[in-house]
Amino acid sequence: MDTEAGLSKHLIRLRLIEPPRRDTPVIHARALGPLFHGFAEADYACGSCDAVLCAGITPGHLAGVVFRCWCGAFSMVPST
Ligand SMILES: [Zn+2]
């Protein structure tokens, strides 16, 4: 258990996918650390290494967006 008291955030692990087609837009994380910062309750994490790619996201936002983590894995934001 690593939840901190009073912290309402929850981690959503993105769906690990195969490398997408070349015409698929991909957001590349070139270093460790979130690419997006918001003030909502969820964090999106790489489906492979659990690095946080988006912090403070509203669950469901950026659905269908593909991220390439600095670890090299491709992850897609789930639509639900
Ligand atoms: Zn990763």
Per residue in 59-76, pLDDT tens?
Answer: 999 999 999 999 999 999
CA of 28 to the centre of ligand 1 (A): 11
Position 38 in a domain: yes
- Does 67 map to a domain? yes
Is position 13 within any domain? no
Whole-prediction pTM value? 0.83
Q: Are 64 and 79 within 8 A, CB to CB?
A: yes
Q: Is residue 6 situated within a structural domain?
A: no
What is the percent of the chain where pLDDT is above 70?
A: 89
Instruction: Find the 41 Cα to ligand 1 centroid distance in Å.
Output: 21
Q: What is the tally of structural domains in the chain? A: 1
Share the mean pLDDT of the chain: 89
Has residue 6 got a pLDDT over 90? no
Q: How is residue 52 annotated by DSSP? A: E
- State the virtual CA torsion across 42, 44, 47, 53 in degrees, nearest 10: -150
- pLDDT band, residue 9 (cuts 50/70/90): confident
pLDDT at 5 over 80: no
Q: Report CA(39)–ligand 1 centroid distance (Å).
A: 22
The answer to whether residue 49 is domain-embedded is: yes
Do the domain assignments include residue 54? yes
Taking the C-alpha atoms of residue 35 and residue 23, their distance in angstroms, rounded to an integer, is 21
**Can you give the residue range of the structural domain that contains 78?**
31-80
